Structure 1
Amino acid sequence: MVKIEKVIGNKVYFQNGLTIGLSRTIISEYNLKRREMLSEEEYMKILEIAALSTSYYLLSKRDYSKRELFEKLYGKYFNKEIINKVMEILKDKGYLDDYEFARGYVNTHSYGKVKMTFMLKQKGITSDIIEEVLEDNRDEELENLRKHLKKLRGREVEKQIAALMRKGFNYGDIKKVMNEEN
């Protein structure tokens, strides 16, 4: 059994320290304002509803990788079983796909392969997916390199190369594009 401390507005405060926001429909459906205790089954169902609702809200704002969303939900609900169940629901509905996330991420950022690999690994994307996405994006990467190089014109060659390498572009690609431009 899980004890309900209090219900204020749409916030439900539990004795275990968890506070979750629920819709008024869920609060009235489970009669949370008048009850002091919930069965473990009811508590888990309410957690699942809240986690799913939070997931939809987060995904409506931006795309998330599976690991990012898992960490975000775990930081709020502290229940791996429920979060894994929610993640499966989202995956089955097509809302959570690391390959599509990585493709979108690469298409909206104009960095080189090295930096993109690092950034995607931080977001929990597997090496296989990263390699595939970056290979598909090879022409775009060279085009981004050309754009960045144009912005750096007028600087010393060494400074141009250093700036481009900080953006994650490969030295060989930089030299190749520089030679094309001259």
Structure 2
Amino acid sequence: MLTSDIDVDRSIVAFRNEDGKTELTIFTTPLSTVEATPAAHLIPPPGTKAETALKQTAEIITSLTNTNSYIHIDFPDVISICASAAIRIIRFNAGDDPGKAFSDQLAAQGIEPSCCDGALISIEAPANIGLAEVTSLVTIVREAIQDDASIIWGLSLDSQQKDTEITVILAKPEGETAAHEN
């Protein structure tokens, strides 16, 4: 079971395994100032405080890895995408036009997805969702980012859920962050 500890003063969240060993540290400061490894640089959405973004990230990653999913994302998956990268988190509802919903969220955060070389995609859906619909949601992200990007996705089914919610963690190499930020 994965746990997270937030240190607001240092603007970090540390993810620990059952033995208490830190497996990944996420900072809101640039990685060049960080000595912990593996680590990721979280870029909060515009208008979101670092503390709020860290709390949301802790909840999202803990949920991704601790949920009893139909198709599970495990913590090594998170590390393989996020380590040594700048990450952004996008959340949207599939609704009538999931492609537009994803594009709108990218635009709202000023993200250029073609710079991203990795993505974690978590889909929370009603139990009656078909594989074709799930595949089309993953394809929306795949077509937006680099052709050779690593993509890992998971699926949680819930018979009580009405809408399909998608959480995407986009990652790009930390050295490219400054050159590609809007």
Normalization by structure 1: what TM-score? 0.23
* Structure (1 or 2) with the larger CA radius of gyration: 1
Between Structure 1 and Structure 2, the one with more strand by share is 2
Normalization by structure 2: what TM-score? 0.23
Higher RCO (CA-CA < 8 Å; seq separation 6+): 2
Between Structure 1 and Structure 2, the one with more helix by share is 1
